[in-house]
């Protein structure tokens, strides 16, 4: 009369990890340019922050925040002037 049905299992979806993402610097000049500019800004003393205000002190952390949050804040008040190209 009553049948025992198994609950429908939903596949677990894990968030993407930075290590899962493949960034090809040989074909993506925009990505390479962004990394060079971020690195240069950090060397000059520009401070970067997550949207919640958490300081980002390494280039990898800034890139990760850009991937997962979509944007970061920065403070360049105490940085040196950019070098001419």
> What pLDDT, in 10s, does the model give residues 18-65?
555 566 666 778 888 888 899 999 999 999 999 999 999 999 899 889
CA distance 42 to 61: 12
CA-closest candidate to residue 23, choices 74, 67, 55: 67
Mean of pLDDT values over 60-73: 88
Beta bridge partners of 49: 55, 73
pLDDT at 54: 94
Query: Could you tell me the pTM of the whole model?
Result: 0.63
CA distance 13 to 15: 7
**In which band, very low, low, confident or very high, does the pLDDT at 15 lie, cut at 50, 70 and 90?**
low
């Amino acid at each position: 009369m009553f049948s025992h049905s198994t609950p429908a299992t939903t596949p677990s979806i894990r968030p993407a990890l930075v290590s899962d993402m493949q960034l090809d610097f040989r074909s993506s000049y925009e990505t390479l340019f962004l990394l060079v500019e971020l690195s240069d800004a950090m060397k000059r003393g520009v401070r970067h922050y997550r949207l919640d205000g958490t300081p980002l002190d390494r280039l990898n952390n800034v890139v990760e925040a850009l991937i997962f949050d979509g944007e970061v804040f920065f403070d360049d008040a105490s940085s040196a002037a950019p070098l001419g190209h």
